[in-house]
Amino acid sequence: MKESNISDFYREMGISEPVLRFGEQVLKELKGRFEEIDETAEYNQLKVLKAMQENKVSEACLLGTTGYGYNDLGRETLESVYAAVFHTQDALVRPQITCGTHALALALMSNLRPGDELLSPVGKPYDTLEEVIGIRESRGSLKEYGISYRQVDLLPDGGFDYENIEKALNERTRLVTIQRSKGYQTRPTLSVKRIGELIAFIKSRKPDCICMVDNCYGEFVERMEPTDVGADMCVGSLIKNPGGGLAPIGGYIAGTRECVENAACRLTSPGLGKEVGASLGILPQFYQGLFLAPTVTASALKGAIFAANIYERLGFGVVPDGKESRHDIIQAVTFGNPEGLIAFCEGIQAAAPVDSFVRPEPWDMPGYDSQVIMAAGAFVSGSSIELSADGPLKPPYAVYFQGGLTWPHAKFGILKSLQRCVGAKAVQLPH
C-alpha cells in the first residue's frame, strides 16, 4: 500500500480540495489561540494530578463493590479527589446519577423544601429542566411539591439585570440556579468571573441563599471553577467534560458538606446517604476519565473555535464568535433554515467512528417541546464530550456543536459538516 499524505487522506475520506483549502486558511490564524488552550490544559492536568496524589489514589481504589457498597474505598477516594479539584468540602460522584438533568434535579429536590422558592437570574433554564421545575407540567416536579419558581431574564446585551434580581429575592428564595452554558439559546456562556460577580451580589442581599451552578460543558475550560468564586454547589455530568470520554454514565455534585449530604440522602435514602451505592466495575473509567479530562476538553475547545471561525467567515451568526474568550465547549451556529441545520448534523454523524453510516433524522425527543435532530456517533451513547451536534427544528434553526476526544477528529468533523452543507447548497464557499 502506497503511503498517502494528509491531503490525499482527507480526499479519500470525502473532503474536497476547496473545503480542505478553506479550512487550512482558517487554521493558520488560530495558532496563538490553540497555544493558550494547551497552557490551560497543562494547568488543569496538574490540578487533577495533584488531587489524585494528595488523596492517595491506589490500585485498590480501582476495584469495585457490589450489593450495598459499604466501605467502598475507591468510591470514597474518588469523591475526595473531586472535592479537591473543585475546592469544596465534599462531593457526590456516582454511576447511579444517570445524566446531567438527573444530577441537577437531585441537587434541587434535595436542597429545597415545600414553601421555598427557586430563582433563575439568568433567564430560561435548559429545556429538560422545565419539567423538573414545573414550568411545563410534569409528574413529580418541584411545583407539585409546593416549590415556586421565579425567573429574571438577562438584559438584551447579555448582562445581569441586577435591579430586578434584587426585587425577585425574597424571604422564600432558598436557592438560586445559575446555568453556565447557553443551552438551546444564543446568549453568551457565563465566565467563571461573571458567575462570581453574580454570586457576590446575591450573597450580599441574601447571605443564606444557596447558589448552585449548572456546570455542564464548562469543566476545565478555564483554570477556575464556579466553586472557586463562591458557588455552594457545582453540578455536572460525567458523559461530558469531567468523564474524559471514558465514563459510561454518571454525574457529580461538588459543594458544601450540607448540600452534598442532602443530595446523597435523596439519591439513596435518609439515614444511609453516602454510605451505600455500589461502584460495580466502573471506577477505572471514572478515575482515568477524570485524569484525561483536561486534555480532552482542550481538544473539544479547539474544535469549537475552529467551527466558529469557519462558519463566521461564511456569514453565519455564531455564538461565541471566532475571537471572544471561551467558557464552555459548545459552539452555536445559526443557519436560519432547517436545511443547513440538518446538513450540519449529517456531516458530524458521517465523521463519527461509530454509526458513521447512519443518517440522523429529527424526532420527538423526551423533555423537549419541538423535534430535535442529533448527531452522536459515540462510544458512549449520548456522550457530548465526544464529537456531536444537535438542535431543535424551530427558528432560528441553530445547531449546537460540541466535543471531540482528539483535536484531529474534531477538525475532521467540522470539515465534514462543511462538506455536507456545501453539498446541500446551504453554504457557499468564497471564490
**pLDDT tens digit string along 190-211?**
999 999 999 999 999 999 999 9
Tell me: pLDDT of 4 over 80: no
Amino acid at 286: F
* Residues 308 and 224 reside in one and the same domain: no
Of 230, 259, 283, the domain-final residue: 283
Taking residues 377-392, report their average pLDDT: 94
Taking residues 309-334, report their average pLDDT: 95
pLDDT of residue 182: 82
Tell me: pLDDT of 215 over 90: yes
* Residues 21 and 141 reside in one and the same domain: no
* Residues 414 and 376 reside in one and the same domain: yes
> d(Cα 4, Cα 2) in Å, to the nearest integer?
6
DSSP 8-state symbol, 278: -
83-97, 172-186, 216-230, 365-379: least confident range: 365-379
Taking residues 170-192, report their average pLDDT: 90
Tell me: pLDDT of 1 over 50: no
Tell me: pLDDT of 146 over 70: yes
The CATH number linked to 193 is 3.40.640.10
DSSP 8-state symbol, 65: -
| Helical residues (DSSP H) of 206-337, grouped into ranges | 257-267, 283-313
Range of the domain at 395: 6-44+291-423
Of 220, 252, 283, the domain-final residue: 283
> d(Cα 160, Cα 144) in Å, to the nearest integer?
29
The alpha carbon of residue 73 and the mean position of all alpha carbons in its chain are separated, in whole angstroms, by: 28
Is 199 inside any structural domain? yes
* Residues 170 and 225 reside in one and the same domain: yes
43-47, 120-124, 361-365, 366-370: least confident range: 366-370
- How many structural domains compose the chain? 2
Is 51 inside any structural domain? no
Of 237, 260, 283, the domain-final residue: 283
pLDDT of residue 365: 76
Tell me: pLDDT of 70 over 50: yes
* Residues 71 and 148 reside in one and the same domain: yes
Length of the chain: 431
Is 49 inside any structural domain? no
The CATH number linked to 356 is 3.90.1150.60
Q: What is the largest CA-CA distance in the chain?
A: 74
Enter the pTM of the model.
0.95
Whole-angstrom CA distances from 363 to 90, 130, 148, 415 are: 39, 19, 31, 25
41-50, 126-135, 246-255: least confident range: 126-135
Residue of 224, 212, 254, 218 whose CA lies nearest to 88: 254
* Residues 34 and 161 reside in one and the same domain: no
Contacts of 188 (CB under 8 A, 6+ apart): 158, 182, 319, 320
Amino acid at 244: G
Taking residues 35-55, report their average pLDDT: 98
> d(Cα 9, Cα 25) in Å, to the nearest integer?
18
- Which residue shows C-alpha cell 429575592? 169
132: phi then psi, degrees, rounded to nearest 5: -60, -45
